[in-house]
Homo-oligomer: A and B are copies of this chain.
């Protein structure tokens, strides 16, 4: 039976990426040894690393004065690295979900934080509106996509102060204007690779001018360490970077981020339109403009609440996996990351229709 993988991350990868990785595990680029067995100081690996950086530069149109880093430790390590490097007097945060809360918690451990706006009052089911970025803060931190709640900031914010974005769950899902950001970080495991590597895009002028002065920063969380060493200060996660490379190649061959965005719009519209027309299912995010293209969250309507477990079983019996919603939201979440094919979205809708017909 074909598996339709809607996992929220780690998530589905393109099948060509899996094929190439399986090959490279045994023999990387005809070296006679596997990708996990090559030295990170070898010309073969440095070549791969620089090609991966170049691919990201091309796909995202990254300006010259930005560095691109590949680090271990996950986005969670960035939650404290960002304030460690840049929080001097005060930092501003937008509180849009669980991961934003975690980022805020780490910043609060290290300094003063102003929460510019929050959607906590309604369990993060919408994006806060009408807020103003304080010009006296060192930076403004946002979480562009909120995996658990299914909301997404789908445009590049204009910020009067340096803008820092956790893009872990929508990185490379659309073209974006990198110039508007001082620092972007993203765990690779949603749209561009496997768990175990975090991508950082940082404006070097911002780093040089705005890093807190006269502060003792552990070497590994000082961004300058990794910028100055091209991510090779210590041994990087080699195979994880390789898989990112192959995933970016797949993205490029598909037509790049404009093309990817079109497909992501098509996939999410199809599913949202079906749910909005359904008698049984309803989206947890009612404001259409706040809805995530990456994570479509929905529950059963009143009168059908007792059918949730049965629907999950029914879907599973058809090969649909990973659609159980996060425990704080309940219901279901279909993650439609880059590599999830349109065909799987259609199959999910067909399965939902079938279930609905059965019970109405």
Contact = CB atoms under 8 A, between A and B. Distances in A.
Contact of A219 (B31, B76, B84, B240): B76
A38 B7 contact: yes
Interface stretch (A54-62, A117-125, A194-202, A252-260): A194-202
Contacts of A84: 218
- Give the number of copies in the complex: 2
Interface string A24-56: 011000011110111110000000000000000
A196 B237 contact: yes
Contacts of A36: 10, 13, 18, 21, 193-195, 243
Interface string A72-102: 1111110110001000000000000000001
A67 interface: no
Contacts of A76: 219-220, 233-234
A236 interface: yes
Best-buried of A2, A110, A195, A236 by chain B (most CB within 10 Å):
A195
Contact of A196 (B23, B110, B196): B196
Which secondary structure dominates where chain A touches chain B? loop
A235 interface: yes
Q: Which of A21, A37, A40, A322 has the most CB of B within 10 A?
A: A37
A288 to B, nearest CB: 28
A71 B321 CA distance: 27
A71 B196 CA distance: 9
A187 interface: yes
A10 B39 contact: yes
Nearest to A102: B219
Contacts of A322: 39
Interface of A: 1-3, 5, 7-13, 18-19, 21-23, 25-26, 31-34, 36-40, 71-77, 79-80, 84, 102, 105-106, 109-110, 187, 189, 193-197, 216-221, 233-240, 243, 319, 321-322
